[in-house]
Every structure is written in C-alpha cells, then in structure tokens.
Amino acid sequence: MKELKEGDKAPLFTSTDQNGNTVSLSDYIGKKVVLYFYPKDNTPGCTAEACDFRDNYQSLKSKGFEILGVSVDDEKSHKKFEEKFQLPFTLVADVSKEIVEKYGVWVEKNMYGKKYMGINRTTFVIDEKGMIEAIIKKVDTKNSSQQLLEVLAK
C-alpha cells in the first residue's frame, strides 16, 4: 500500500464509536477533522494525548475542528476510556484493522527486541473537502493540540 501524503484524498471509512453508533468519515465532509491514531486505550501516552485534546477541545472546536480518535480497541474499551477521562469527542473502534491499514499506520514495531504489529501514533488533519492537509508522525502526546496548531500555521 502506498504511503499517504499531504494533498492526498483521505481514505473513507465506516465503523462504530464508543456508543455503538455508526461513524463515517464522509459524514464530516464540509468540516475540518483531526483524525488521530493511537496505540491503546488507558496507556500513559495515549491517555496524555486524549486528555490534551480534551483540555483544548473547545478551542479546537471554535477553530472548526472535529476530533476523531482511532485505535483497534473495541467499543467497550473506548467507552471505559471516554468515561474515565470525560473525553468529549468520538473514539472510533477499528477492531478489524481496516482503517489503520488504509492510513498506513499499522506497522511492525520493536520493543525490547520483540517484534509485533501495532499502531504508529499519527495525526492526520483533513480539510473540508476530504483532503489530507497535514500529517504529524512524531506526535508530542502531552502537547498534541499545540503541535497541531503549529503545523497548520506553517
């Protein structure tokens, strides 16, 4: 699969959120979307990133952004994560790994010499027409909102 680049059309997807509702990227045409992929609910880096988006949610909303978090955790895991940290945005369950594959973030990782497949933490900014405006590959989990705004200001 070819790697996505800025200016590419964002791959469409349909899945379910933490409440079991259907979520389709096509529902967000006409809005700016922060589509962020994270490895796992309730882990330190992912919690820091989600809470940073939560803490800056109103300011991002006021700039016209919708936030969608995606991991391969199921709806139940997402619901617990949302409730534990009062997350005000949609968490997309990608148990089938279809979305992470389309976005090229399901990769081989290496921890302590052990190889395994997992999500490469990445944030995509998708414009109102469904095009990829920016891709952040080196995500600063504690300052992801600020990092996002700085990338877009360039």
pLDDT attached to residue 111:
83
- Closest-CA residue to 86 (of 59, 54, 42): 54
Q: What is the pLDDT of residues 28-82, one digit of tens each?
A: 999 999 999 999 999 999 999 999 999 999 999 999 999 999 999 999 999 999 9
Please write the tens of the pLDDT for every residue from 78-120.
999 999 999 999 999 999 999 999 999 999 998 899 999 999 9
What pLDDT is attached to residue 147?
93
Distances 87 to 41, 50, 80, 110 between C-alpha atoms, Å: 12, 7, 10, 30
Q: What's the pLDDT score for residue 89?
A: 97
* Residue numbers annotated as active site: 46
- Confidence at 152, pLDDT banded by 50, 70, 90: confident
Q: Is a pLDDT exceeding 60 seen at residue 1?
A: no
Per-residue pLDDT, 151: 87
The string of pLDDT tens digits covering residues 122-144 is 999 999 999 999 999 999 999 99
Mean pLDDT calculated for residue range 8-26: 97
Domains annotated for the chain, with CATH where assigned, are 14-153 (3.40.30.10)
Residue 15 has pLDDT above 90, yes or no: yes
- Residue 154: its pLDDT value, please? 73
What count of other Cβ atoms lies within 10 Å of the Cβ of residue 109? Answer: 13
